[in-house]
Amino acid sequence: MPGFFASLFQWFSGLFFSKQAEIAVVGLQASGKTSFVNVITSGQWSEEVVPTVAFNFRKIRKGNVTLKIWDVAGQPKFRTMWERYCNGVDAIVYVVDAVDQDKFKSAKFELHQLLAQPTLTGVPLLVLGNKNDLDGHASVKDLITYLQLDKISDRPVSCYSCSMKSQHNLDIVLQWLAGRSH
């Protein structure tokens, strides 16, 4: 799998010479944000991930492409920081644990509260329904309904079902991110 990601990144690099994209990765705690960043930067999956405190910043340079990633903590005490890290980025990636249905209401509330910030008007949104390797995960259709993604009309919105563990659909996600580079 690392070889697959290396070749994908080469393809990505070749398409977008000297381009860069800055993204902020937000969402409730334990949804898989840091796992996402680890997998797309190194191809490495690990069960053992420490909850993020405040944020991690990762800058990946492969060939002529630079991806700057703000991986922001999801615990309640850190959520007021989300807007600050999303301000000025090329895309907001909102990660949802697609199995933890009890948290969908909270995930919807936090997402819409964030998008209501005037500083973030128009910033493209990518919603990832993570952990689709597990039984009982919500489909993209369910996520659109539960998170009321169809009510968002002031920006481009995409939603994919994926898994950091099995790396399912991460090729599509990387293509989407590549499309935000400039």
Decide if residue 60 touches ligand GTP (CB under 6 A). Answer: no
Decide if residue 165 touches ligand GTP (CB under 6 A). Answer: yes
Reduce the secondary structure of 45-113 to three states and give it as a string.
CCCCCCCCCCEEEEEEEECCEEEEEEEECCCHHHHHHHHHHHCCCCEEEEEEECCCHHHHHHHHHHHHH
How far apart (Å, rounded) are the C-alpha atoms in residues 77 and 86? 17
Q: What is the DSSP letter of 133?
A: T
To the question of whether residue 87 is assigned a binding role by annotation, the answer is: no
Residue 28, CA distances (Å) to 2, 33, 55, 66 in order? 27, 9, 13, 26
Decide if residue 31 touches Mg ion (CB under 5 A). Answer: no
> Other CB atoms closer than 10 Å to residue 133's CB: what's the count?
14
> Which partner in ligand GTP, Mg ion, none is near 167 (CB below 5 to 8 A by kind)?
none
Contact pattern from residue 120 through residue 159 relative to ligand GTP, giving x for each residue in contact according to CB under 6 A and a dash for the rest: ----------xx-xx-------------------------
> Which partner in Mg ion, ligand GTP, none is near 75 (CB below 5 to 8 A by kind)?
ligand GTP
Question: By C-beta, is 9 or 55 nearer to ligand GTP?
Answer: 55
How far apart (Å, rounded) are the C-alpha atoms in residues 42 and 8? 12
Annotated binding-site positions for GTP: 27-34, 74, 130-133
* Residues in the annotated binding site: 27-34, 52, 74, 130-133
Binding site for ligand GTP (CB under 6 A): 27, 29-35, 47, 49, 51-52, 73-75, 95, 130-131, 133-134, 163-165
